[in-house]
Amino acid sequence: MSDEKKFAGYICTGCGIGERLDSSQLEMIATREGKMQSCKQHEMLCSSEGVQLIRDDISNEGATHIMIAACSRRAKVEAFNFTEVAMTRANLREGVIWVRPDEPEHQETTQEMADDYIRMACAELRSMKMPKASGEQTLNKTILVVGGGITGMSAAIESAAAGYPVHIVEKQGALGGQAADYSKAIPTRSPYKEPRDTGVAEMIASIEANDLITVHLNSTVARTAGAPGRFSVDIATESGTVNTETFGAIIQATGFKLYDPSNLPQYGYSKSPDIVTNAELEKLVKDANGGPIKRPSDGKEVKAVAFVQNVGQSSTEEGQLPYHSGIGDLIAIKQAMYFKDQNSDCDTTILFNNLRTPGAAGEDFYRAGQEKMITFSKGNVSEVVPGDSLEVKFQDLILDEETSMQADLVVLDVGMIPNSGPDPYAVPMVIDEEDEAAEDTPPPPSVSVDSILNLDYRQGTDLPHLKNGFTDSHFICFPYETRRTGIYAAGPLRRPMDMRQAQDDAAGAAMKAIQAAENAGKGMAAHPRAGDLSFPSFRMDGCTQCKRCTVECPFGAINEDEKGYPMFNESRCRRCGTCMGACPVRVISFENYSVETVNQQIKNVDVPEEFDEKPRILVLACENDAYPALDQAGMNGVEINPWARVIPVRCLGSVSLSWITDSLNSGYDGIVLMGCAKGDDYQCHFVRGSAMAHERMGKVGDTLSSLNLEPERVVVYEVAITDIERAPKLINDMAETVEKIGLSPFKF
């Protein structure tokens, strides 16, 4: 294909577009103002006949850039799938006729809206290039699994079953992780009445028999460099040898640690060997080998056991876990059954406050426990008094009294702490000055967590956390994704979970790792813009080494070279454009999405003169949630103000401040930015994009005051995909605001 560009426009007159709008005027605008070399109308462009019309032009007439004015870019994507050309879509259906009333008095403004969308689509098209892969990509099918517990082993088995070679790096001398010490597991099959076999031995055997799986025991990851498709990992053994291997993708399955109850003196954990954690009990049961379970202090057969639930969990107190592990009560039921089955006539009491038995097994397993005469008492344990017979003091919450019970053995339900390595974005602890004044207070203990992945990334050595040490991911849409592309988290380092959930998690992460490795081989984005070939390019001669792009990239895609210039890693990139929004000198752009493509759209909107009293409102809507919400508003017939001109953006994080200043300068009266929810419960598909945008737009007030404009003219909102009524209302609100404060003085 030659470099010559050939522009072709297509206007669909179906779905009522032809009846509501003057299509010959639209065609004229596309050719005269939009400079389309050809423009055709069709009564149903998405039909096979219409699609063929476009295909013929591409193959016979050599059209390289096509503009389709029909429905939303989110509709008919299968029909309008022309991978060999650059394409823009003018949204005349959802964006214009469906959000405007079909009445003669609105005809003029509706037509103006459509005219502008044609101008915008043509302008965008003219500044676009056809995206193609960079040619840097490499296909490496080998998957690295860090951690050889239940999750890691499952991930390895699943990946190998799909035909991908796997390496497992395990710190310990054997596979199996924590589950290797367990006697039995929570049942996963109906009738959910008895604990099941853990299956660890079978998993180890199947891994050892699998030629595709290589196991590195007593090993850790000393260094991880590169990007998806070309990770270079140093695997260090305990003896000091280092082995460098290359991988396509990585699964981190480093599991969890248990909370140490010795911090809580009331439970007497460190005062008696007969007060044990739930994990330690599993070892006692394993030692009993099917016979009666004996207590550690004197080897006496246990005749009465008390399970103290929720130890140091869901607490607001310092040094305890603010969350609940969720499965502790199921574990207690399982463990109480050990005593019912192995010890004759043993009293088993579970002291709970809120009994949680989640999952398919939950309620049935609870019932099975009751049938086996496990006593469930709702009570808050205040103290465990050590002694030959342990005294458990508790407040009975049903009978409302302080009481106590005697037990030979007390089992503490302690929570799971993710083993996820240090958070690269952890805020260093700030000691405020008042504390420093008190000289006798010792400094807070510094907790050093060893890195697990030792990433050679500019943005830190490990996966970023969300909170409480759990790795960050888009919880709703992409649970296995982390903020490091090609590295997937699975198992309890994402959230507390049981073995069954961890196995499901591992399978999911394995599938994602395979997808990442394959896509890296093709130079495509893995997610959420799966299949996207475009990637940001950096015009290095304009770069001022300000490092904003390297710092603000939510995914650690950009390193720095010795001189401080950004070093881009294409396959780590998710194509959100947050770097583009960050760059103050506008040197970062995608082939089909750049500062210029949006600027051209802004500039080509026809801004009427002041006395026309037709304001213009620029809406920059995130294409993931806000834009679909507006589309759905159209489908539901919710009205949108005719002054609005909506431009979809990849992420609000990609919004360049220059778009704001340029549009204000060219006479727009108001600007509405719509991104996803930010914060701890964020919904941003690119994790930090929306938050970054809010931060940057916080400073836009200065720009406005320097232009002598009212600050109300620019607003940033968090919009969810379900805000079908609200999203249009926000635009209409802006129209009212403009009416109140008057039109912009910057019209020409």
Partner 1 sequence: MSDLNTAMTERYRNSFLMEVEANVEEGEWVKMCMQCGVCAGSCPLGNAWEHTPQKLFMMIRAGKREAVLSSDAMWMCTSCYNCIARCPRGLPITHIMHGLAHYAKRLGLVPKNQPTQQFSQIFWDNLMKKGRVNELKLGLSMYFKDGFGQGIKNAMANKQLGQNMMKAKRMNAMEFFGGHGIKDTSGLQKMIKKAQEIEDAKYQGNS
Nearer to partner 1, 90 or 407 (CB): 407
First to last CA, the chain: 42
Nearer to partner 1, 53 or 355 (CB): 355
Q: Residues 243, 234: contact at Cβ < 8 Å?
A: yes
Nearer to partner 1, 113 or 305 (CB): 305
Nearer to partner 1, 394 or 593 (CB): 394
Closest CA to 215 of 141, 150, 156: 156
d(CA 114, CA 687): 34
The two beta strands, 487-489 and 249-252, are parallel
The DSSP code for 660 is: H
Concatenate the DSSP letters of all residues of 13-71 into one string: -TTTHHHHS-HHHHHHHHHHTS--SEEEEES-TTSHHHHHHHHHIIIII---EEEEEES
Q: Which stretch binds partner 1 (CB under 8 A): 165-173, 176-184, 396-404, 648-656?
A: 396-404
Nearer to partner 1, 373 or 567 (CB): 373
Query: Least Å distance between CB 704 and partner 1?
Result: 58
Residue 497's alpha-carbon distances to 158, 361, 558, in angstroms, are: 19, 14, 33
| 444-463 footprint of partner 1 as x/- string (CB under 8 A) | --------------------
Query: Least Å distance between CB 340 and partner 1?
Result: 12
Query: Least Å distance between CB 638 and partner 1?
Result: 42
Nearer to partner 1, 373 or 540 (CB): 373
The two beta strands, 242-247 and 416-418, are unpaired
Phi and psi, residue 39, nearest 5°: -145, 125
Query: Least Å distance between CB 187 and partner 1?
Result: 19
Alpha helices in 537-686 (DSSP H): 548-552, 578-582, 595-604, 626-635, 657-665
Quick one: which of 161, 201, 399, 551 contacts partner 1 (CB under 8 A)? Answer: 399
Q: Residues 326, 358: contact at Cβ < 8 Å?
A: yes
Nearer to partner 1, 379 or 653 (CB): 379
CB-facing half-sphere around the CA of 259: CA atoms within 13 A: 25
Nearer to partner 1, 376 or 643 (CB): 376
Query: Least Å distance between CB 102 and partner 1?
Result: 54
Q: Which stretch binds partner 1 (CB under 8 A): 143-151, 205-213, 398-406, 439-447?
A: 398-406
Q: Residues 585, 614: contact at Cβ < 8 Å?
A: no
Q: Which stretch binds partner 1 (CB under 8 A): 9-17, 185-193, 312-320, 366-374?
A: 366-374
- Bridge partners, residue 487, by sequence: 250
Nearer to partner 1, 242 or 373 (CB): 373
Query: Least Å distance between CB 309 and partner 1?
Result: 14
The reply to whether 377 sits near partner 1 by the rule CB under 8 A is yes
User: How many other β-carbons are positioned within 10 Å of the β-carbon of residue 171?
Assistant: 17
Query: Least Å distance between CB 307 and partner 1?
Result: 15
Query: Least Å distance between CB 504 and partner 1?
Result: 28
Nearer to partner 1, 110 or 348 (CB): 348
Site for partner 1 in 643-682 (CB under 8 A): none
Nearer to partner 1, 217 or 355 (CB): 355
Site for partner 1 in 293-352 (CB under 8 A): 347
Q: Residues 673, 734: contact at Cβ < 8 Å?
A: no
Site for partner 1 in 19-58 (CB under 8 A): none
> Residue 684 contacts by C-beta under 8 Å, 6 or more apart in sequence?
474, 651, 652, 653, 675, 676, 677, 678, 690, 691
Closest CA to 706 of 746, 673, 736, 740: 746
Query: Least Å distance between CB 336 and partner 1?
Result: 13
Quick one: which of 389, 403, 544, 705 contacts partner 1 (CB under 8 A)? Answer: 403
Quick one: which of 371, 561, 609, 739 contacts partner 1 (CB under 8 A)? Answer: 371
Coil, strand or helix: which one is 249?
strand
Quick one: which of 366, 470, 593, 627 contacts partner 1 (CB under 8 A)? Answer: 366
Quick one: which of 40, 129, 367, 547 contacts partner 1 (CB under 8 A)? Answer: 367
The reply to whether 376 sits near partner 1 by the rule CB under 8 A is yes
d(CA 216, CA 244): 12
Quick one: which of 354, 370, 389, 636 contacts partner 1 (CB under 8 A)? Answer: 370
Query: Least Å distance between CB 400 and partner 1?
Result: 9
d(CA 635, CA 647): 18
Site for partner 1 in 624-643 (CB under 8 A): none
Nearer to partner 1, 335 or 348 (CB): 348
The reply to whether 193 sits near partner 1 by the rule CB under 8 A is no
d(CA 506, CA 177): 14
Long-range contacts of 102-108 (CB under 8 A, 24+ apart): 102/20, 106/642
Nearer to partner 1, 348 or 569 (CB): 348
Structure tokens at 537: 């390019």
Query: Least Å distance between CB 350 and partner 1?
Result: 11
d(CA 104, CA 113): 15
Q: Residues 517, 143: contact at Cβ < 8 Å?
A: yes
Strands of 80-185 (E only): list them: 86-91, 143-146, 166-169
d(CA 526, CA 250): 14
Query: Least Å distance between CB 388 and partner 1?
Result: 18
Query: Least Å distance between CB 398 and partner 1?
Result: 4
Counting residues that bind partner 1 (by CB under 8 A) gives 15
Q: Residues 471, 464: contact at Cβ < 8 Å?
A: yes
Residue with tokens 């107190």: 317
Q: Residues 173, 278: contact at Cβ < 8 Å?
A: no
Quick one: which of 373, 426, 476, 477 contacts partner 1 (CB under 8 A)? Answer: 373
Q: How far is CA 43 from the centre of its chain?
A: 41
Nearer to partner 1, 332 or 687 (CB): 332
Coil, strand or helix: which one is 737?
helix
Helix axes 107-126, 595-604, angle to 10 degrees: 150
d(CA 11, CA 44): 9
Structure tokens at 258: 């248990």
Q: Which stretch binds partner 1 (CB under 8 A): 41-49, 392-400, 433-441, 675-683?
A: 392-400
Q: Residues 528, 477: contact at Cβ < 8 Å?
A: yes
Quick one: which of 396, 662, 695, 733 contacts partner 1 (CB under 8 A)? Answer: 396
Nearer to partner 1, 206 or 406 (CB): 406
Quick one: which of 378, 393, 458, 726 contacts partner 1 (CB under 8 A)? Answer: 378
Nearer to partner 1, 336 or 489 (CB): 336
Residue with tokens 């809406």: 619
Nearer to partner 1, 149 or 328 (CB): 328
Strands of 520-587 (E only): list them: 537-538, 558-560, 566-568
Nearer to partner 1, 403 or 545 (CB): 403
User: How many other β-carbons are positioned within 10 Å of the β-carbon of residue 566?
Assistant: 25
Binding site for partner 1 (CB under 8 A): 347, 355, 366-367, 370-371, 373, 375-378, 396, 398-399, 403
